[in-house]
A and B are shown apart, each in its own frame.
Chain A
């Protein structure tokens, strides 16, 4: 037991969906638990093991001064830090605050906003520390998470494609919805979801964030030709991964 690698799962500002992906790995979960020691995972166990930890999975974005400190401490005490999900890798939906006034929001939502200690921005961990592996997605893909854990345990490279959703879409032989008339973010979005939305005749929403070398300018131009408004373009690029540089810059070209 003592020889097994320790894994800690940390939550920052997030909805818990990505951590739950781990609990959702029903078939694989027992196998994984047999090969690691869970050092910290409040969603699943009360047990706690002191650091340092071999692997830290980090969910959620940095939105408070306390979180900005905590991630540095986790980095210092961890062998590998894996950021999981759109919040941890891009700032998440809550990064919409980065274009707004947080104090105003707080005064509308809370009776006593003065008790609140929050940052002006929601940022990914890569803005604060060095990250060893990022799993993009809102939520992350179960298969990618299992593969990443197996890769770490077996000392091999994880299989994380950085190419477009289109690759998965064509492999499953879905007729391209964009060519059939429905705007799709697939050509600039990183694979990983298995191209679910196009298989239901919907355009990709960009949950997995920008792919390698995304040409957002060209895709946005095509969307305009297909009839998309500037506001639609702004919203398309400023959703789950709006603060990730490629999408951030493209949304800025469409106002706001």
Chain B
């Protein structure tokens, strides 16, 4: 490919690509994102390729491997265009039918359609599936249409149009002004206005400046940044180039965690392609603007995603937070002005520049514009990546998109914001989800984790789970964070073991306060959230553990006892055979009993019982 030396040449290339592409020609897309890949979607892709070539359809039917659609639990996902017929959990053996029936005869294969777990209804088109229908996929939407390793796909969808527009028609100040007007807030957790940060870096006196993409994504369970980098790397790059232009940076870094090999691969390829096309490097599109990008791989500690720690890591030092009384925006990488934004933040920029701040502001609420991607997991029927307008009520995300709570269980809480987020109870389900409201409720947006919990979740156990993560992931520099998380964990652990004492909750609150207020970085200042939010909304549950030695959700092993209801038990002996402790006795065909002194409360008997005769109390 030859270099594009002007905006005109880019548009000419785009026209040629579109010319070549016949929108009526069938195209089978297979998701090759990490989630579907784990379900062997590559085998499905290969089988489809084989089927197309053996039927002599090469050139008549397109096949495309795409990025993540976000509905990974239904993977491997295959969508056939132009009809947009969506098949879920596709196996390589299905390839023949897909080509013969759907592609050639326009017939829908019923067994491969998505079936709503609640209503049982089947859906043919991907966009009709409730999980997708109730979303607003501004940022994620292109993932399913693009082969991330092929820059032409990105061009075909209007890629690099925003960059062309900026370089041809806008000054750097114009670009900055547009992002400021758009009120774009950082998607990495803090919600800081991106435009303000950009301006600070731009106005800093030092001439040499840097821009950074934070793709460290250390929250367990979060994978929105990963999906974007894997599935649409040029979108992030285009945003970064626009930012560099606005700020006046000639050098950028993408800091990706080592554990994301596909993201590193696709991004590396995207950078190469952009360089070859003259979209990165010297004199971009003949505009005189120079900008290059390097990819840095991170070692993957949670704390190295913190901005000052990440700057240290890029410099080659230990990825540990450092005091930043002087803003990174003014003195960051090697002491130079540095602007750092999250992957998703950067991905918004091309849309803002191409369509304008006014358009961007039409989505969201007063203080929070645009969309946000969440990773919806836990006790909901549909799990996956969910993108909704800022300010969407929690209830809508959980019920309409997530399909509600499985079984006839009751919703208990939604945990947002990653490990140092908080738990929000039912009475706040109509709260619009945005940076400010979540904070008011004692939680936070974080990177967009959203874990749904039902009546079977013990909130003390939940707090303990997150504190376990935080005590391991604290960098260990500040006494308040290192010892504070450790001590909070110890107390929570004791409470769940039935060793809670009078005064524990007050002590927890004191440690929480000092961890929050005396620590250097945001890991410490948010680390108490799991404890404080559960204490705020579920204090009675803590008290039941401490005073009555009772776990209301029947989770904490030390506080429950399993028994078998003799009325229900038919003496099938399954529990007896499966009990690892040999704690169950009884003659076949007569009711079994559990010896509590031998029982380890593993719960296997309850799982294997076909009559629901085992209960915990």
Do A and B associate with each other? Answer: no
Residues of A within 8 A of B (CB): none
